[in-house]
Amino acid sequence: MSHLILRSARRIPHTKRLFVSASIRLMSTQFTNILTSRPEPGVALITLNRPKALNALSSPLMNELSQALKEFDSDPQIGAIVVTGSEKAFAAGADIKEMKDKQFADVIKENWLGNWSDMTRIQKPIIAAVSGFALGGGCELAMMCDIILASPTAKFGQPEIELGIIPAGGATQRLTHAIGKSRAMEIILTGRHFSAQEAEKWGLISRVVGDGEGVVVKEAVEIAKTIAGKGQIAVQTAKETVNAAYELSLAEGLRLERRLFHGLFATQDQKEGMAAFTEKRKAVFTHL
């Protein structure tokens, strides 16, 4: 088996081989709907893996994703996490086959989709690397991440209205915050898809990366690697502060920012970072 893997790896271009080899070595055996790997020091990569269903977000997949995120969040060796899908689909939506026969009582008693918010409680930064379709729940999943990178092929949208329902994974709130009421209304009420270029123009995503298979994942991993090289306490504090801007008034947000800034002066990383700056050397953070 090892000879077959090596022969196959040699046929893969070098830029992609790093990701493939890492996945082969470190792929988790406990999951069936996702793949996990560590392509760079400090970086975790989670790949949605239901290709025949265009990575439709079934309950088993979301449970596995939540478990993997929590495990990486508690791993001191990991500083940032990348979530991606395939070239064809980041995630084409929630699993309609799973939900189509459910009744009102079922979704109430099961708190249907309630566990999706688990992702927003992860402390470490999460970067979405989006190619292909990111529709419905897939678009909402991307919006729950902290940074979104998209390939030129990415297509976003909230087509739930076509099914006689509304979004339930946060789109009515997060999309409105990101792109404004009028655009969010149009997208949600018509169900139309929008391009990566529109998403970038509207401020929904960080940027559109270059064309080519695997480029968006490579770029996301590079950003995650950069973040992982910083002090984890400062990174997690910064994430908390930025997210608070969605819920607090300006005065409350500024007060929180200042208090958390003050708190960082109790860390060893603050002492090391400022000493390294004055000594003109690279900081060596210990995350303490």
| Rounded distance between C-alpha atoms, residue 61 and residue 32, angstroms | 8
Say what the pLDDT of residue 64 is: 95
| Rounded distance between C-alpha atoms, residue 83 and residue 157, angstroms | 18
| Rounded distance between C-alpha atoms, residue 214 and residue 95, angstroms | 25
Beta bridge partners of 91: 134
Say what the pLDDT of residue 6 is: 34
Phi/psi at 208 (nearest 5 deg)? -95, 130
**Residue 159 — very low, low, confident or very high, per pLDDT cuts 50/70/90?**
very high
**Residue 8 — very low, low, confident or very high, per pLDDT cuts 50/70/90?**
very low
Inform me whether the pLDDT recorded for 261 exceeds 90: yes
Say what the pLDDT of residue 29 is: 52
**Averaged pLDDT of the chain:** 89
Instruction: Tell if the pTM clears 0.85, that is, is over it.
Output: yes
Inform me whether the pLDDT recorded for 193 exceeds 50: yes
Are 30 and 60 spatial neighbours (Cβ–Cβ below 8 Å)? no
Just list the catalytic residues: 94, 137, 140, 160
**Percentage of residues in the chain having pLDDT higher than 90:** 79
Inform me whether the pLDDT recorded for 2 exceeds 50: no
Inform me whether the pLDDT recorded for 251 exceeds 90: yes
Inform me whether the pLDDT recorded for 129 exceeds 70: yes
Per-residue pLDDT tens over the stretch 53-110: 999 999 999 999 999 999 999 999 999 999 999 999 999 988 888 888 889 998 888 8
| Rounded distance between C-alpha atoms, residue 12 and residue 175, angstroms | 38
Which token pair is 256? 């929180």
> DSSP 3-state assignment of 57?
strand
**Arithmetic mean of pLDDT, 123-148:** 97
Say what the pLDDT of residue 24 is: 35
Inform me whether the pLDDT recorded for 10 exceeds 80: no
The 8-class DSSP code of residue 94 comes to B
- Region of residue 61 (left: phi > 0; alpha: psi -120 to 50; beta: else): alpha
**Which domains are present in the chain?**
34-229 (3.90.226.10), 232-279 (1.10.12.10)
Say what the pLDDT of residue 162 is: 95
How buried is 149 (Cβ within 10 angstroms: 0-12 exposed, 13-18 middle, 19+ buried)? buried
Per-residue pLDDT tens over the stretch 270-279: 999 999 999 9
Q: Which of 18-27, 29-38, 167-176, 204-213 is predicted least confidently?
A: 18-27
How buried is 44 (Cβ within 10 angstroms: 0-12 exposed, 13-18 middle, 19+ buried)? buried
Which token pair is 10? 């040699």
Are 269 and 286 spatial neighbours (Cβ–Cβ below 8 Å)? yes
Q: Which of 11-25, 84-98, 163-177, 242-256 is predicted least confidently?
A: 11-25
